[in-house]
Amino acid sequence: MNESTILMNDAMLINPDRIVPPAAWVEHIPFLSWLIVALKPAIFVELGTHSGNSYLSACQAVLENHLNTRCYAVDTWQGDEHSGFYGEEIFVSLSQYHQEKYAAFSNLLRMPFDQAKDYFSEQTIDILHIDGLHTYEAVKHDFETWLPKLSNNGVILFHDTNVHERGFGVWQLWEQIQDSYPSIEFPHSHGLGILFVGNSQPEVIKHMISLWQDESNRQIIQRLFSRLGKNITLQFMISEMRREIQRLNQEEETLNQTVLQLKADINQVHSDLSQQEQLLSAILSSTSWRLTKPWRFIGRLVKKHLAFRGL
């Protein structure tokens, strides 16, 4: 078996069942799926789930690969300053989908991160994905509070290590901690930093870390996962366009119905008008109308006369 065969697994070719906006995370799905199968975590925890793109792909990887992983998503499902504040419909839609497919091994914990940490024992979490508020202070706090919960093969993922704007500070924390443990980082899709905090990693992970030390290997691995991720973005864009085409088709159908109705209304007005015209010409040409013509003439003269005299 050569090096690349050991590194590859089928899970990196995952075809996500559900991608919804916002899609900022989706290009890391192949790596997360690869990692889950490489590590076979007993416990996976995500801090910051929003509409569920990263979390549901983790659940899908667990299910498709018949793993005994228990998954937990922690979020208030209210939003924050960076992801924006959002309505109840996000949680309702995620929760409904989640309950149907993954309730057997996964739980949505609707609460602040600091409250959820009390529900996990020290050294039990194998993969922790930190993707909450992205200020330096918030992500440092999340990292420091949850670090003791990580097991001896624990791995922490940080999203947005490559965002240098809008008060994001994950890059700053990442600079400070990336050399404290073995680590790798993907710059694409806003950046994903992976910190191998457990000191007893499986062979395949050790192999990945050792390949990473070589610049050309590192570039190939980064490009490989970036390309796989790009496919997911393209699939998402195609499905969004299909949805838009469907919406436009429905709109066109409604407009066609309105145009038909308007044409029918116009025809009706024309026919009413011509009936009125026929009636009028019948009146004008009638004998009584002609006989009363002098009286109508006198009536008009009297009106003018009275008007002239101010009466």
Is 193 near ligand SAM (CB under 6 A)? no
Which residue in 38, 39, 50, 161 binds ligand SAM (CB under 6 A)? 50
Q: What does the block give as tokens for 61?
A: 């990887």
DSSP secondary structure string for all residues of 98-139: HHHHHTTTEEEEES-HHHHGGGS-TT-EEEEEE-S--SHHHH
Name which of residues 208 to 247 contact ligand SAM (CB under 6 A). none
Tell me how far, at minimum, the Cβ of 127 lies from ligand SAM, in Å.
Answer: 13
Which residue in 9, 65, 78, 226 binds ligand SAM (CB under 6 A)? 78
Is 27 near ligand SAM (CB under 6 A)? no
Is 83 near ligand SAM (CB under 6 A)? yes
Is 79 near ligand SAM (CB under 6 A)? yes
Which residue in 14, 35, 49, 183 binds ligand SAM (CB under 6 A)? 49
Instruction: Write the binding mask 91 to 130 for ligand SAM: x where contact by CB under 6 A, - elsewhere.
Output: ---------------------xx-----------------
- Cβ-contact 36, 65 below 8 angstroms: yes
Burial of 71 (0-12, 13-18, 19+ CB in 10 A): buried
Residue ranges of the alpha helices (H) in the chain?
A: 3-7, 29-39, 53-64, 88-102, 113-116, 136-146, 170-177, 203-212, 215-284, 287-291, 293-308
| Residue whose C-beta lies closest to ligand SAM | 48
Smallest Cα–Cα separation from 25: which of 46, 1, 42?
46
The count of residues in the chain is 311
Which residue in 34, 41, 53, 162 binds ligand SAM (CB under 6 A)? 53
Distance CA 300, CA 304 (A): 6
Which residue in 9, 65, 76, 93 binds ligand SAM (CB under 6 A)? 76
Binding positions for ligand SAM, rule: CB under 6 A: 22, 25, 48-51, 53-54, 75-80, 83, 112-113, 131-133
